[in-house]
Every structure is written in C-alpha cells, then in structure tokens.
Structure 1
Amino acid sequence: MADDDALFEKGLPIRREVLGADYVDASLEKADDFMMAFQRITTSWAWGMAWGDPTLDRKTRSIINLAMLTALGKIPEVKLHVKGALNNGVSVDEIRATLSHAAAYCGIPAALDAFKAAHEVLIAEGAIKAKK
C-alpha cells in the first residue's frame, strides 16, 4: 500500500497540471468508495508511474496518447487529452498531424471521430476559431 500511496502522491500533481485541477478535483470529489478505487488506480498507475517517468516529456506523451486513444476509439478521452495536449504545449498543427498520422494506421472512421472531437475542444479552448 505504501508504494501505491507514493505513486498516487506523485501522480496527482501531474494529473492536475495536464488535465486541469478543476477537472481532477471534481472527479475525486464525486467519487464514492467504489469509484475511488478507480481514481486511485488511474492516478497511481497512469499518472504516477507512466506520466511520472521522466524518460519522455509531456508533449511527447500527449501526442502518443492522442494516437492511442484514436486507435481505441475512446472519443471522450480524446477530448480530455486534446485539452491536456494544449496544456503540454502541443500546437494545433501538431494535433492535426498526429490525428492525420493515426488515420493512416487506425482507419478513416476512427480518425474522423477523433478529428471531430479535437475540433470541438480546440474551438471551445479558443485554439481555433469556428467557421461561420
């Protein structure tokens, strides 16, 4: 348990910085005992262990995440990680290039969903302007 606690404490600030403290804190506050098990798992494993490894920088990790989430068709997570990618310094052009690259390897339908999701977030975050 001590190792899990250490990974949770290591991962929590990383998770807040990438996804936004409001989002993370709301997720933790809404979690009952059942869902808190998942909050601990994701914060410890994904954010403490994976994102906490200094071998890859956060920008690279964001690009990898967008490609993997596109491949898996996990559109709500694509939206979340587009915002995180912007927080990590990934440009709109780099997001577009990542999703275009994913289209070649994951297929057009998966990439179309990811492009639509990314477009929605990029507009909402003010990174691009909506076409009138």
Structure 2
Amino acid sequence: MARRAEFQGEQFEKGLGIRREVLGGAYVDKSVDAATDVTAPLQKLVTEWCWGEIWSRPGLDRRTRSFLNLAMLTALNRPHEIKLHVRGALNNGVTREEIGEVVLQAAIYCGVPAALDTLRVVTETYAQIDAEAQSR
C-alpha cells in the first residue's frame, strides 16, 4: 500500500494498528488508500487522535469503548458508523446478546425510534457477517 506523505509518524502508525485490530484491516486500508486531498486531513485526524490517542488510553478497555460507541452512535442516529462499530464490538469480544442489551438501554435514554433504526442496522450487519462466514 503506497501511503500518502501525511500518513506517517508514530501517532498515525499507533492509531492505524488499533483501528485495523478493531475495524478490520480491509476496511481501514480501503479508507486510507481512498483518501483524496479533501478527505486525507480527516483520515489523518481520525487515525491519530481517535484511534492513536483515545482508543489507546488505559482507562477503559476496548469492550467498554465499544459499548459506549454503540450507545452514542444510537443517540446520534448514525447508521453507517453503527454498522462499522457493530463489527468492531464483535471483534472486541462484545456478544450479540450484549449488543442487544445496549440497544434496549439506548431505547430508554435515546428514544425508541433511534433504537429501532439501530436494531435494523444491527440485524443487517449480522446477516452480512453470517453470509461472509458461510462463503469462506
């Protein structure tokens, strides 16, 4: 993978490693490789600060961070990110049953419509994951 010049440095590499572990290498590499002059600054920011700084902090483990992300993304009604973070949560050891509990908890505090949208995305993501597993 030929990487853009601005995608270098210790913090970027640290974040890239964590991001790959949580979200999967194929997804992350596709995002980074597809960066343009317009999108590269945000890719750099997200990789260095979100993943390299925040996700690497010792105060919370990755499972807990995944629980929080799913709840916050439900509150924000961000289906694309929910789909991505459902996969990440599973990679971090969160079970499907626990994800269901997060959605129920969010339904009370964020609203039923947000939880219904999230549950729709979760169900679609599970179906994609199961189909991918069967095709291997």
TM-score, structure 2 normalization: 0.87
Q: Does 1:47 align with 2:47?
A: no
**1:83 maps to which of 87, 98, 101:** 87
Q: Distance in 1 between matches of 2:11 and 2:77?
A: 28
Q: Paired residue for 1:92?
A: 96
Q: Distance in 1 between matches of 2:47 and 2:104?
A: 29
Find runs of 4+ consecutive structure 1 residues off by over 6 angstroms. Answer: none
**2:126 maps to which of 122, 126, 130:** 122
Q: Does 1:22 align with 2:46?
A: no
The residue type equivalent to 2:28 in the other structure is V
Q: CA RMSD in A?
A: 1.4
SS in 2 for 1:34: coil
Q: Does 1:57 align with 2:61?
A: yes
The residue type equivalent to 1:118 in the other structure is V
Q: Report the alpha carbon displacement of residue 40 of structure 1 after superposing the two structures with TM.
A: 0.3
Give the total of aligned pairs.
124
The residue type equivalent to 1:80 in the other structure is L
Identity of aligned residues (%): 52
Which ranges of structure 2 fall in alignment gaps of 5 or more residues? 1-7, 132-136
Q: Distance in 2 between matches of 1:94 and 1:123?
A: 17
Q: Distance in 1 between matches of 2:58 and 2:129?
A: 28
SS in 2 for 1:89: coil
**2:110 maps to which of 84, 106, 109:** 106
Which ranges of structure 1 fall in alignment gaps of 5 or more residues? 128-132
Q: Distance in 2 between matches of 1:75 and 1:30?
A: 21
The residue type equivalent to 1:34 in the other structure is V
The residue type equivalent to 2:37 in the other structure is D
Q: Distance in 2 between matches of 1:45 and 1:117?
A: 27
The residue type equivalent to 2:93 in the other structure is G
The residue type equivalent to 1:58 in the other structure is R
